[in-house]
């Protein structure tokens, strides 16, 4: 919520705060004297921009309609992440390869997904989200079509890289775009858009299972080659409207003031967030990537592990929505810190409990803890870094989190091979989690140290 004041020269000032504060009118000095403990800054706004967050642009009916379209595209576009998991057993059987070789297409998918978040994010900044979506949809269609006729596991892996690259548009770039259209409800808007990834993972395996069982994985991929062209491209045309320059200018002033408050350059802050993202996702990957194997080692079987993974994903959706609401009140940094701390606690719970029922409970707790962490990075980027570069900077941080997932998944397996147990792997994840917490605490303390001071935009 924000309150305004007008100085003697007639310029309007606004005290930006993440929590409700009493309405004040009068001089700028009165507003400064109040020194709201949670106020980020006092910024100078032209009259036509001062009321913009309550205008027809931000948090408007169109913003929510656009969010609905964005969520639909995210559910459709993220199919590339989950389709390879569904067809992996069939691919392994057809090409008669080992499990490690059958996993190569998934690895290439995630590498393409990571790179795509950065490159397509830059394209969104320059050309707009519609052009980026159309290009990505065509890329996905070509990838699925060529993958369907691939003659080897290597050829399939190359095409999965292409599919992963195009699929990336459904995560970081879409999140960056929708963040421009909200101010007071940006947290929940970003959370809803980010939930499209998890919803896609819940929906597409069910839809593809019938085609896969009746006609095989190649036919399933030919069907998926049609989906981006028939569904994503028409939906992308509904997002042609660009956010007004006034809204971007407003957001740039706020992010500049917040960046000054933490005394870090935008580049330094971006790299700090990237390192924090690697830390939290190395920790996050241990249960998500290895829970099925962990359950098999304990004698519960892979089916039980798959059920626990589904429970994590469902908890993650709930966590993302709750974290979005929290972020609208407390801001991205505090919300991220809360989620990271809860994730660390959940990881500790895996150490003493390995019974069947306790593992189900701990897995649910883990999902409810970590789901809102990654979307919170996008909120921190929007709060502290230039709005006109949101696509590239959000894409960079999202790429770092994916690198963390890939690194953590491999590292946990390597530690298991060395020790013959996942206990040390859990401890490794906890150590990386502490790195994330340390970085976010530093940003928070630096911000609060100067938050009471007025910083001109």
pLDDT for 345 equals 94
Which residue range forms the structural domain that includes residue 239?
A: 56-243
* Same domain as 366, residue 270: yes
Q: Are residues 329 and 352 in the same domain?
A: yes
- Give domain status of residue 252, yes or no: no
Comparing CA positions, the residue from 81, 72, 205, 60 lying closest to residue 140 is 81
Same domain for 325 and 202 = no
Q: Are residues 432 and 408 in the same domain?
A: yes
In a domain, 259, yes or no: no
**How many Å apart are CA 441 and CA 447, to the nearest integer?**
10
Could you tell me if residue 250 is inside a domain?
no
Domain assignment present for 278: yes
Residue 179 confidence (pLDDT): 85
- Residue 248 maps to a domain: no
Do 68 and 41 have their domain in common? Answer: no
Residues 37 and 87 in one domain: no
Q: Residue 430: left (phi > 0), alpha (psi -120 to 50), or beta?
A: alpha
Pick the last residue of a domain from 243, 276, 305: 243
Q: What are the DSSP calls for 221-232, one per residue?
A: HHHHHHHIIIII
Domain presence at residue 39? yes
One domain for residues 123 and 188: yes
Cα four-point dihedral sign 432, 191, 314, 79: negative
Query: Token pair of 252, please?
Result: 């740039």
Mean pLDDT of the chain: 79
Extract the residue ranges of the chain whose pLDDT is less than 70. Answer: 1-56, 99-100, 103, 246-262, 448-457
Q: Which of 432, 397, 379, 447 is closest to 271 using CA atoms?
A: 397
Give how many domains the chain has, as a whole number: 3
* Per-residue pLDDT, 432: 95
135 and 24 inside one domain: no
CA atoms within 13 A on the CB side of 218: 8
The predicted structure's pLDDT at residue 276: 93
A 10 A CB-CB count for 122 gives 18
| pTM, entire model | 0.72
Residue 158 domain-assigned (yes or no): yes
Are 11 and 97 members of one domain? Answer: no
């Amino acid at each position: 919520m924000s309150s305004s004041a007008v100085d003697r020269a007639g310029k309007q000032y606004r005290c930006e705060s993440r929590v409700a504060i009493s309405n004040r009118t009068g001089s700028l000095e009165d507003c400064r004297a109040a020194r709201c403990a949670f106020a980020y800054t006092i910024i100078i706004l032209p009259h036509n921009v001062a009321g913009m967050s309550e205008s027809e642009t931000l948090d408007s009916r169109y913003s929510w309609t656009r969010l609905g379209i964005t969520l639909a595209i995210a559910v459709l576009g993220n199919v590339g992440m989950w389709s390879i998991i569904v067809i992996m057993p069939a691919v392994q059987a057809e090409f008669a390869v080992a499990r490690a070789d059958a996993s190569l297409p998934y690895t290439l998918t995630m590498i393409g997904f990571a790179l795509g978040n950065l490159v397509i994010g830059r394209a969104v900044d320059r050309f707009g989200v519609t052009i980026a979506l159309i290009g990505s949809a065509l890329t996905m269609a070509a990838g699925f079509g060529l993958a369907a006729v691939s003659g080897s596991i290597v050829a399939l892996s190359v095409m999965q890289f292409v599919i992963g690259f195009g699929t990336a548009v459904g995560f970081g770039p879409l999140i960056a775009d929708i963040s421009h259209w909200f101010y007071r409800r940006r947290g929940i808007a970003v959370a809803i858009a980010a939930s499209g990834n998890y919803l896609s993972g819940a929906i597409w395996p069910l839809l593809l299972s019938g085609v896969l069982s009746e006609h095989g994985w190649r036919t399933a991929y030919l069907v998926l080659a049609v989906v981006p062209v028939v569904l994503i491209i028409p939906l992308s045309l509904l997002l042609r409207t660009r956010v007004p320059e006034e809204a971007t200018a407003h957001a740039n002033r706020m992010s500049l003031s917040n960046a000054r408050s933490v005394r870090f350059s935008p580049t330094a802050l971006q790299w700090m967030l990237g390192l924090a993202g690697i830390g939290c996702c190395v920790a996050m990957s241990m249960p998500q990537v290895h829970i099925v194997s962990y359950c098999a080692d304990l004698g519960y079987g892979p089916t039980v592990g798959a059920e626990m993974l589904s429970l994590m994903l469902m908890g993650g959706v709930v966590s993302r929505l709750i974290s979005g609401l929290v972020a609208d009140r407390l801001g991205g940094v505090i919300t991220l810190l809360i989620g990271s701390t809860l994730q660390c606690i959940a990881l500790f719970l895996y150490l003493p409990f390995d019974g069947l029922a306790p593992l189900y409970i701990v897995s649910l707790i883990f999902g409810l803890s970590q789901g809102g962490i990654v979307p919170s990075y996008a909120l921190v980027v929007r709060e502290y870094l230039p709005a006109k570069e949101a696509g590239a900077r959000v894409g960079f941080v999202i790429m770092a989190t994916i690198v963390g997932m890939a690194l953590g998944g491999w590292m946990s397996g390597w530690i298991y091979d060395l020790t013959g147990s996942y206990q040390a792997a859990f401890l490794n994840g906890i150590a990386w989690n502490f790195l994330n917490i340390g970085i976010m605490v530093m940003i928070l303390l630096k911000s609060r140290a100067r938050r009471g001071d007025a910083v001109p935009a």
